[in-house]
Chains A and B, each alone.
Chain A
Amino acid sequence: MSSLLKIDGMSVTFATPRGNLRAVNDVTIELLQGESLGVVGESGSGKTVLSRATMGLLPGTATRTGTITYNGKVISELPKDEVRELWGTGMAMIFQDPMTALNPVRRIGSQLTESLTVRLGMDKKAAKLKAIELLKRVRIPDPESMLRKFPYQLSGGMRQRIMIAIAVSCEPELLFADEPTTALDVTVQAQVLDLITELRKESNMAMILVTHDLGVVAGHTDKIAVMYAGDVVEYAPTRQLFSNMKMPYTEALLKSIPRLETPTGSRLPVIEGRLPDPTKNEPGCPFANRCPYVQDKCRAEKPPLKDAGNNHFYRCWFPIGGEK
Chain B
Amino acid sequence: MSSTEQIATTDIAPVQKARKKRPFGFYLAGFWVALILFLAVFGDFLPGPQWDESFYDSLGVAPFHQSHILGTTLDGYDMYSGLVHGARLSVFVALVAVIVGGAIGTVIGVASAYFRGKIDVVITMAFNIMLSIPNLVLSLALISVLAYSDENNPASTTRRVGVLMLSLTIVIIPILGRIARGATLQWSSREFVLASKSMGTTNFTIIRKHILPNVAPAILAIGFLAIGSVIIVEGSLAVLGIGVPGGGSWGSMLANGRGNIAFSPWEVYLPAGAIALTVISCNWFGDYVRKALDQRESKI
Contact = CB atoms under 8 A, between A and B. Distances in A.
Whether the complex brings A and B within 8 Å at their CB atoms is answered: yes
Interface of A: 17-18, 270, 272-274, 277, 280, 290
A17 B14 CA distance: 10
A270 B5 CA distance: 10
Contact of A274 (B2, B7, B16, B18): B7
A277 B16 CA distance: 17
A66 B11 CA distance: 29
Given A270-B5, A274-B7, A274-B11, 12 more contacts: A17-B16, A17-B18, A18-B14, A272-B2, A272-B4, A272-B5, A273-B4, A273-B5, A274-B8, A277-B10, A280-B10, A290-B4
Contacts of B18: 17
B6 to A, nearest CB: 10
A104 to B, nearest CB: 15
A290 B10 CA distance: 16
Contacts of B11: 274
By Cβ-Cβ distance, the 10 closest A-B pairs, closest first, are: A272-B4, A277-B10, A273-B4, A274-B11, A17-B16, A17-B18, A272-B2, A272-B5, A274-B7, A18-B14
Interface residues of B, number: 10
A173 to B, nearest CB: 34
A273 B4 CA distance: 5
Contacts of A280: 10
Nearest to A18: B14
Judged by DSSP, the binding face of A is loop
A17 B16 CA distance: 8
Q: For the complex, would chain B's binding face be called helix, strand, loop or mixed by DSSP majority?
A: loop
Interface in B1-52: 2, 4-5, 7-8, 10-11, 14, 16, 18
Nearest to B5: A272
Interface string B178-203: 00000000000000000000000000
A250 to B, nearest CB: 20
Contacts of B14: 18
Contacts of B5: 270, 272-273
Nearest to A274: B11
A270 B18 CA distance: 37
A17 B18 CA distance: 9
B173 to A, nearest CB: 29
A290 B5 CA distance: 10
15 contacts: A17-B16, A17-B18, A18-B14, A270-B5, A272-B2, A272-B4, A272-B5, A273-B4, A273-B5, A274-B7, A274-B8, A274-B11, A277-B10, A280-B10, A290-B4
Nearest to B2: A272
Contacts of B8: 274
Contacts of B16: 17
B1 to A, nearest CB: 10
A153 to B, nearest CB: 19
Contacts of B4: 272-273, 290
Contacts of A18: 14
A292 to B, nearest CB: 11
B189 to A, nearest CB: 15
Contacts of B7: 274
B267 to A, nearest CB: 50
Contacts of A274: 7-8, 11
Contacts of A290: 4
Residue of B5, B7, B10 with most partner-chain A CB within 10 A: B10
Contacts of A17: 16, 18
B4 to A, nearest CB: 4
Nearest to B11: A274
A141 to B, nearest CB: 31
A194 to B, nearest CB: 32
A18 B10 CA distance: 11
A251 B252 CA distance: 80
A290 B4 CA distance: 9
A50 B2 CA distance: 33
Nearest to B10: A277
A54 B4 CA distance: 35
B287 to A, nearest CB: 22
Interface in B198-240: none
Nearest to B13: A18
A155 B132 CA distance: 36
A256 to B, nearest CB: 13
